[in-house]
Amino acid sequence: MAKKPNIVLGVTGSIAAHKAADLASLLTKSGANVNVVMTADAQRFITPLPFKTLTRHPVVTGLYDEEEGWKPAHVRLADDADLLLIAPATANIIAKLANGMADDALSCIALALNPKAKLLIAPAMNGKMWRHPATQSNVTALKDRGAIFVGPDEGMLSCGYEGIGRLWPVDGIAEKAMAILKRSSK
């Protein structure tokens, strides 16, 4: 039997965080081993419980979460990952990743990610934040380092504006993630 791909699903503080539970479910049903890492802000929108239930793995919510063994959870996840998928990705996490900041479990995993792993980012934010030159500069820097972006989508935003900034549909994100894993396993 082929090895299940390891996906680390990073969930950040966006109103779209609740959609990440459906994404975790889709990825798990697609045959991936999914470990969820939530930022403190993500936990203001959704609790870890749905992710733990859907993936059958503990959810990392802090840099100092402990697990069996001696290796810190964030280091083990970074070492074992085939794909780091951040969905939803806020302007904040995109800026952290572009600038090498590592002040929480998710940003530490991204910085310590094994070199063979891929990085897939699904942004979700206010359209003005997405189009801001600082965000676009950060996106360009990440793309230049090999990060792959899916979205954002256009439509009605939670802030009441119509435009770009919505999380890409979760089935499309899951398809993209599995396609990246299939290509990288060849």
**Is 1 among the domain residues?**
no
CB atoms within 10 A of CB 169: 16
The model carries a pTM of 0.93
Report how far apart, in Å, the C-alpha atoms of 98 and of each of 41, 78, 144, 163 are.
19, 17, 10, 24
Q: What is the count of structural domains for the chain? A: 1
**Is 18 among the domain residues?**
yes
What are the backbone dihedrals phi and psi of residue 123, each rounded to the nearest 5 degrees, phi first?
A: -70, 150
Q: What is the CATH number of the domain that holds 104?
A: 3.40.50.1950
**Is 133 among the domain residues?**
yes
**What is the full per-residue pLDDT of the chain (186 aa) written as tens digits?**
468 999 999 999 999 999 999 999 999 999 999 999 999 999 999 999 999 999 999 999 987 776 665 667 878 899 999 999 999 999 999 999 999 999 999 999 999 999 999 999 999 999 899 999 999 999 999 999 999 999 897 777 776 767 787 899 999 999 999 999 998 776
Q: Which of 167, 180, 127 is nearest to 22 (CA)?
A: 167
3-state SS assignment for residue 74: helix
Pairing of strands 33-38, 83-89: unpaired
The residue segments making up the domain with residue 77 are 6-184
**Is 135 among the domain residues?**
yes
Is 159 a residue of the active site? yes
**Is 51 among the domain residues?**
yes
> Could you say which of 40, 49, 159, 179 is catalytic?
159
